[in-house]
Amino acid sequence: MSNEKWSLELSEYIKQGEPEKKEKAKTWETAIGLQDVDGLKPSEYLLDTAKEHIEGNINIVEAKQRINSYYEQSFERMKEENTEEADKVSVRITEILSENAFNFSPAEMLNIHKRLFTGIYDGTGKYRDYNFTKKEWILNNDTVTYSSFETLQETIEYDFNQEKNFSYKDLSLDESIKHLCRFTSNVWQVHPFCEGNTRTTAVFLIKYLRTFGFSINDEVFADNAWYFRNALVRANYKNYEKNVFEDISFLEKFFYNLLTNSKYELKNRYMHIDYKENVEEETSNINILSLEEQAILNIIRKKPEIKQEEIASMINKSLRTIKNYMSEMQKKGLIERKNGKRDGEWIVKGS
């Protein structure tokens, strides 16, 4: 089943606007979309099962049981369709993302890996015990240098301890996103598992970001899972002979779209090391927004006619501060005012 088909069918539930169905559909979209990291496609049966769950006819445990039974009943079906991994991992991701429980620790990441891939890969929920390389299309079949298996436990524990002790207090949105990108990039570069590292990282990341109170744009993971992986590759690759160095800007664009509803164009070809266009021009404005500016943009996107007094109240700033911010945003070309002060509205330019 093509990505376009399942995405189109699930998106109908999101458009209907019923809160419970909408949230379930978003979670399923993310779960299924993440299978694209490894080029996996779901079956029609999974989509039917997802719809039953979204409609409330079955719970998530029953959904898992249906998928397991589907593949237990026919070994030939499993071989012919080649959808077993996508189906089983999708329903497991949906289950995990539907739960509120979360603990920021390497043990949580190990547990997520075990829950996602038990019965699919060997050694689930355990760190790998050998070194490997992976040929990457965007690197002309070169590989990222992953952590040595002999030190990966110490490395990942160090990354987690650094993050746990890091304070986001008083950071701008730009500074926060840069730091989150670096943490995610570092953890992924460790590549602690034999298989399933990117999907495990993504699920862990979504759960972690929710602890910040972020409203995550689920469509970004649903539609751009392969981009996410390639962005992690580019953030961790350097080749001095070819004059190629680690570039985290692609991952930052992904995070901006994920967390702020920005509309940066996420194209895999831009990340190829031989891509000739000047990508710096396209990403030059990625760091110009403060947390307050982004909050203002989000607010006026939803309510263009809103008054500055209301904005000040919503983000707990003085009216004078809001007027200063919005004046600067107009100078930057981020927003403009249409039809005067009294009956006009705010326009977010380029959205």
Of the residues 58, 80, 99, the one at which a domain ends: 99
- Are 196 and 256 in a shared domain? yes
Same domain, 213 and 189: yes
Q: Average pLDDT, stretch 39-48?
A: 91
CA 148 distance to own-chain centroid: 26
**In terms of domains, do 113 and 254 share one?**
yes
Q: Higher-confidence residue: 199 or 320?
A: 199
- Out of 99, 122, 143, a domain closes at 99
Q: Which amino acid is at 222?
A: A
- Assess whether 47 and 73 both reside in one domain: yes
What is the reported pTM? Answer: 0.77
Are 131 and 223 in the same domain?
yes
Name every residue whose Cβ is closer than 8 Å to that of residue 23 and which is 6 or more positions away in sequence: none
Contacts of 14 (CB under 8 A, 6+ apart): 22, 25, 26, 29
Mean pLDDT of 218-229: 91
Residues 341 and 199 occupy one common structural domain: no
User: Is 108 in the same domain as 216?
Assistant: yes
Q: Say whether pLDDT at 226 is over 80.
A: yes
- pLDDT for residue 294: 78
Q: What is the pLDDT of residues 113-139, one digit of tens each?
A: 999 999 999 999 999 999 999 999 899
Structural domain span for residue 147: 101-287
Give the residue, 333 or 81, on which the prediction is more confident: 333
Minimal CA–CA distance to 9: which of 19, 21, 259?
21
Pair 21, 131 in one domain = no
Q: What is the pLDDT of residues 263-281, one digit of tens each?
A: 899 999 999 999 876 444 4
Same domain, yes or no, for 95 and 197? no
C-alpha–C-alpha distance, residues 291 and 58, integer Å: 41
Q: How confident is the model at residue 76 (pLDDT cuts 50, 70, 90)?
A: low
Report the domain count for the chain: 3
Shared domain check, 43 and 139: no
115 and 223 inside one domain = yes
Judge whether residue 73 has pLDDT over 70: yes
Question: 240, 255, 287 — which closes off a domain?
Answer: 287
- Residue 79: pLDDT band with limits 50, 70, 90: low
Q: Are 112 and 219 in the same domain?
A: yes
CATH number at residue 320: 1.10.10.10
Residue 300 clears pLDDT 80, i.e. is over it: yes
Q: Is 282 exposed, middle or buried (0-12, 13-18, 19+ CB in 10 A)?
A: middle
